Amino acid sequence: MKALSLRAPWCQPALFLAGAVLSLSAQAAIPIERWTHASGASVALVASPSIPMLDVQIDFDGGSRRDPAQQAGLASATAGLLSGGVKAHAGQPARDENALSEAWLDIGAQFGASASSDRFSVQLRTLTEPDLLRRAVALAAQQLAAPAWPEAVWRRDRERAIAALREADTRPATLASRTFARAVYGDHPYGAQTTEASLNAIGVADAANFYRRHASACRAQVSLVGAIDRATAERIASELLAAVAPNGCPTLADVPEVKPLAQARLERLPFAGAAQAQVFIGQPGMARNDPDFFPLFVGNHILGGGGFVSRLVSEVREKRGLSYSVYSYFAPGRHAGAFQIGFTTRPDQADDAVKVAQDVLRRFVAEGPTEAELQAAQQSLVNGFALRIDSNRKLLDNVANIGWNGLPNDYLDTWTDQVRRVTVADIRRAFARVLQPERMVTVVVGAAP
C-alpha span between 249 and 228 (Å, rounded): 29
Give the strand pairing for 110-115 and 326-330: unpaired
Buried b (16+ CB within 10 A) or exposed e, 315-347: bbbeeeebbeebbbbbbbbbbbbbbbbbbbbbb
Residue ranges of E strands in 276-376? 277-284, 326-330, 338-345
Q: What was the pLDDT predicted at 449?
A: 64
Architecture of domain 33-247: 2-Layer Sandwich (3.30)
The C-alpha atoms of residue 75 and residue 206 are separated, in whole angstroms, by 10
Residues 6 or more apart from 115 whose CB is under 8 A from it? 3, 62, 63, 64, 75, 76, 78, 79, 121
Of 94, 123, 98, 96, whose CA–CA distance to 109 is shortest?
A: 123
Calpha distance 53→125 (Å, rounded): 7
Predicted local distance difference test score (pLDDT) of residue 28: 57
Q: What is d(CA 152, CA 81) in angstroms, rounded to the nearest whole number? A: 10
Distances in whole angstroms, Cα of residue 100 to Cα of each of 109, 111, 193, 244: 12, 10, 31, 19
**Alpha-helical runs (H) found in 257-336:** 293-300, 311-312
Per-position b or e across 88-106, b if 16+ CB within 10 A of its CB: ebeebeebebeebeebbee
Chain center to CA of 160: 22
CA distance 215 to 146: 12
Strand partners, 60: 120
Amino acid at the residue 401? N
For the chain, what is the total number of helices (H) and then of strands (E)? Answer: 15, 13
Where in the sequence of the chain do the CATH 3.30.830.10 domains occur? Answer: 33-247, 265-445
Using the CB atoms, write b or e for 39-62: b if 16+ within 10 Å.
Answer: bebbbbbbbbeebebbbbbbbbbb
* CB-CB contact of 221 with 62 (8 Å): no
Residue ranges, the chain, pLDDT below 70: 1-28, 448-449
Superfamily of domain 265-445 in CATH is Metalloenzyme, LuxS/M16 peptidase-like (3.30.830.10)
The dihedrals phi and psi of 169, each to the nearest 5 degrees, come to -65, -10
What is the helix, strand, coil percentage profile of the chain, to 5?
45, 15, 35
